Amino acid sequence: MIFTLLCALALASSLLAGYSMAGGRPSSCWIHMLAFAVIMAVTVYVILDLEYPPLGLIRVDTVDQVLVDLRDSMK
């Protein structure tokens, strides 16, 4: 469900951004189009990377180890 909503949000945002830039001059919009595409791609990548930590670049192994150590110290 989350992935479906994430894809729907990205598509809806792209549709609205493209619709609003359709009436403007094409030469002045390339920076906005590039920035929007990069921001959407980075946002989707970070969300997916946090969802599957062993497969991505963001690592939380040290945090997991701290939690395991804390649990062991409570026993």
- Asked if residues 47 and 6 have their Cβ atoms less than 8 Å apart, the reply is yes
DSSP assignment of the chain equals -HHHHHHHHHHHHHHHHHHHHTTS-GGGSHHHHHHHHHHHHHHHHHHHHHHSTTTSS---HHHHHHHHHHHHHH-
Work out the pLDDT band at 21, boundaries 50, 70, 90: confident
- Asked if residues 53 and 27 have their Cβ atoms less than 8 Å apart, the reply is no
**CA angle, corner 21, sides to 18 and 27, nearest 5?**
120
35-66 pLDDT, tens digit per residue, is: 888 888 888 888 888 888 777 777 777 777 88
pTM above 0.85, yes or no: no
